[in-house]
Amino acid sequence: ALAYPDRDFMLSVFRFVKSCGCWTHDYETMCYRLGGNSADICKIAVSVEAMLELGVLIKNEMGHITLPDVSVKADLSSSKLLSKLK
């Protein structure tokens, strides 16, 4: 599927959020900042939502995307979102 992100793509999204400390903008802006094209917006959204589902990323009290206080390792194949897209 076109919107299915591979592991390397998801890692780049994770590293981007980590480098920012906290992401407060939309997925389109994130795509632009990552140097992606319009087709990558869905992949970014799926990546972020899957990492939120797995607890690798969290939304803080203001709804901003950030990393949890304790580092979380997760098996991407355990994401219900990603498994539905395969």
Query: Across-strand partners of 48?
Result: none
Closest CA to 55 of 74, 38, 35, 42: 74
State pLDDT tens for residues 20-35.
999 999 999 999 999 9
What average pLDDT score do residues 40-48 get? 94
Provide the whole-model pTM: 0.90
**H-assigned helices in the chain:** 7-20, 27-34, 40-54, 80-85
